[in-house]
Amino acid sequence: MGRVDGRTVIVTGGARGMGAAFAGRLVAEGASVVITDVLAEEGEAVAAELGSSAAFLPHDVTDEAAWIEVVARAEALFGPVSGLVNNAGIVHVDPIERLAEADYRRVIDVNQVGVFLGMKSVAPSMRRAGGGSIVNISSIGGIISFGNILGYVASKWAVRGMTKAAAQEFGAWGIRVNSVHPGVVITEMTADSERSNAMFHDQPLARPGTPEELAALVLFLVSAESGYSTGSEFVADGGFTTH
């Protein structure tokens, strides 16, 4: 038996990188997964590779109506949703004095408002499922701070707090909410980043993480194996935040 047999899980930002790894691991362990992203061609390819237990839906996580449609389509395809991985995220690099308001707001809209809308939209379906697990992908930038990415840091700290607030509200319905805080993980977003490539050399595990390692953690949190964990931070950063 798989570790998440019979579960319907939505993974946002699932067209590549960590999101694609999350989707693949969840399907391998028995879940039916709805992959969403603005990258339609890549998302369709991931879903096709995963077979009949996966489907792709184009999705702007900043749009509440789009969220309502995604949840309805997921239910129609696979049944009530019992897992949500809020993974979609962006970063914008600029010092504060040069950071345009529009760029700041765009990061907040995707990384923070998107998580709020996801939790809000999926809650009724999870109640119909008899409970569920929400995994919000934050960052070590939601525990410590970095310069020149103010919007990213602000949004990821917000996700950490929103996770705890939602855990308090949703616990009565058997819905758990936890946050994951990756350090440097080599994906399409970070592969060419000088900052990311320099960060991990002085941490206790002097290497970057892999999407597959984060997928193992997400699988644990979606599964019943983490059944007594809610409102908590799960850090996977090679020890970076021990400094």
Q: Which residues are catalytic?
A: 152
Return d(Cα 5, Cα 19) in angstroms, integer. Answer: 19
Structure tokens at 196: 């990311």
- The number of beta carbons lying within 10 Å of the beta carbon of residue 28 is 15
N-term to C-term CA, the chain: 41
- Residue 209 pairs in a beta bridge with 185
Short-list 104, 77, 73, 76, CA closest to 91: 104
Q: Which two tokens stand for residue 85?
A: 């991985």
Q: Which amino acid is at 212?
A: E
